[in-house]
Amino acid sequence: MILPPNRFLLTAALVGSVLAATTHRTGNFNVKPFKIDLAGEIPHLKSLVNNTRLPETALYPEAGPNSGIELDTLRELSDEWVTSFDWEKEEAEMNRLDHFTAEIEGQTVHFVHQKSKDVDAIPVLLLHGWPGSFHEFLPVIEPLTQPTHNTAGKSVSFNVVVPSLPGFIFSSAPPQNWTVDDTARMFNTLMTEVLGYSTYAVHGTDWGSIVAYALYGSFNQTVRAAHLAFLPFLSPSEDEIAANNITLSDEQKVTLARMNLWNQVGNGYLVEQGTKPNDIGLALYDNPVGQLAYLANQIKLWSDPRAGTPPSVLDNTAILTGISLYYLTHTFHSSVWIYAQNMASFLTVYTKAPTNAPLLFSQFEYNVSLWPEEYVAKVGNLVSYKVHDFGGHFAGLDNPPALIADIRNIANYWVF
C-alpha cells in the first residue's frame, strides 16, 4: 500500500488548527505541531509478517550472526511483531513529546522540540544516523530538560531538539544530489531562524555525527559546543595505532577487535547502499520481514552483548519500534540513499575545524570503530574524551545514563 506523500502534513495541519499557541517563530517556515498516527497501517504490517514463509530449519546452523541474521533470531522477532508487539503503546509513548514539522528549503523537516522550564537552558540538537531515528534518543530527551546541578553547583538543563534526517521517517526525501553538508545548513536554519536560538550545542551519532561535525566546522558563530561519537575521518588501523606508540585501554582493545571484524565481514551493507540504493530500497520497500532480517542483526552486532539488560533498554520491543518506524513511513528506501549521496565524506588527512568551540568525545566499548584521543585532538578543540565500558552504537538506548551524563558535561564548557 502506498500512502499519499502529504499524509503526514495533513495530520499535522489538523492538529495544528486545534493547538493554538506555539512559542516558535513561524516566519515563512510553516511550523506546525505534529502527532504520530500510523496505527491504521498496523493490520497490513501484521498480516504481511504473519503470511511470510520462513525456512523450517536453518540452512547452516553453525553459520553464526557474522554471516547475517540467524533464523531463530528472525523467527523470534517476527513472532513477537505479530503477537505481542503493541504499536499503539509505543506510539503513545513517542507522542508524549512535542513534535513539529517545518518547511525549510522546500522540504518538510520533522523534529521533536522539548523545552526545559529553566530560562538558562542550553539548546542542544541531537542527531541520529542509520539505521536509527529520533526514537533512539527517547530515553534521554526528558531527563535532559530537567534541571540538575553540575560539580560547580551551577544549574544545568537543556532545550532539546531532535530532527529526523532528510529522507528518514517523517522528514521528506531530499533531492538526489543532497549531502550531509546541506543537512547541516538546513539544521542550522532550524535552530537559529525557525526556533530562534542564537547559539546551541550539538550531539551526533553515526551519520548524525558527520552532520554535527559539519555544523561544528562551518557554523562556528552559532554552534558553540559539540559532543560526538564518530568523526568523518577514517579511523586509524591497528598497525598505525601501534606505530604511533598509542596505548589502548582494555575497553578500547574490545572496540578495536570489533572494528577489525566489521572491516572484514561487517560492511557489505555500506557497499550495497553506497552503489545500488534502489536495489535494496525497492526490494524491501513493502517487505517488513525483509527489513527486519536486514536491520535487526546489524543493530544487535553493533550493540553491547548485554543489550536489553540495565542500563540498556535496547530490547526486542525497541528494535521492533525502530524498524516499524522505517516500514510504516515507507522511508527505508530513501534512508539508504544517504550512503550513495555521501560516499565521498570520509577524509584520510586529519585537519582541525576552524572553530574555538569545545569538542567532547565519547567512545562506547561495544561499538565498531575506534578513534584514540590523540586522533580526536587533531580535529577540534578537544576538552573531554571518555570511554564507557557499557553500550555500543545506539548509546541513547544502550546506555542512556552515560549519554545523559556526557551531554550534561557540555555545560561545564558552555560560555555563551
Ligand X SMILES: *[C@@H]1O[C@H](CO)[C@@H](O)[C@H](O)[C@H]1NC(C)=O
Which residues in 222-261 contact ligand X (CB under 6 A)?
229-230, 244-245
Binding string to ligand X for residues 37 to 66, with x set by CB under 6 A, is what? ---------xx--x----------------
| 213 binding ligand X? (CB under 6 A) | no
Residue (15 or 382) nearer to ligand X, CB: 382
Among 151, 177, 264, 348, binds ligand X (CB under 6 A): 177
Among 10, 175, 249, 352, binds ligand X (CB under 6 A): 175
Contact yes or no for 128/205 (Cβ under 8 A): yes
Cell of 156: 544545568
Closest CA to 410 of 121, 130, 40, 180: 121
| 320 binding ligand X? (CB under 6 A) | no
Judged by phi (left if over 0) then psi (alpha if -120 to 50, else beta), residue 308 lies in left
Minimum distance from CB of 233 to ligand X (Å)?
12
Which residues in 333-392 contact ligand X (CB under 6 A)?
354-356, 364, 367-369
Q: Specify the pairing of strand 155-156 against strand 148-149.
A: antiparallel
Alpha carbon distances (Å) from 231 to 172, 188, 208, 243: 26, 19, 10, 21
Minimum distance from CB of 61 to ligand X (Å)?
26
| Residue that the C-alpha cell 535552530 belongs to | 191
Residue (79 or 95) nearer to ligand X, CB: 79
Long-range contacts of 58-67 (CB under 8 A, 24+ apart): 65/297, 65/300, 65/301, 66/261, 66/265, 66/266, 66/301, 67/265
Which residues are 244's β-sheet partners?
Answer: none
Of 200, 339, 366, 375, which is the active-site residue? Answer: 339
Contact yes or no for 194/332 (Cβ under 8 A): no
| 205 binding ligand X? (CB under 6 A) | yes
Query: What is the distance, to the nearest Å, from the Cα of residue 310 to the centroid of all Cα atoms in its chain?
Result: 21
Contact yes or no for 156/149 (Cβ under 8 A): yes
| Annotation says 294 is catalytic | no
Among 220, 237, 260, 317, binds ligand X (CB under 6 A): 220
Residue (33 or 288) nearer to ligand X, CB: 288
| 188 binding ligand X? (CB under 6 A) | no
| 199 binding ligand X? (CB under 6 A) | no
| 406 binding ligand X? (CB under 6 A) | no
Which residues are part of the catalytic machinery? 206, 339, 393
Residues near ligand X (CB under 6 A) are 46-47, 50, 82, 129, 175, 177, 205-206, 209, 220, 229-230, 244-245, 354-356, 364, 367-369, 393, 395
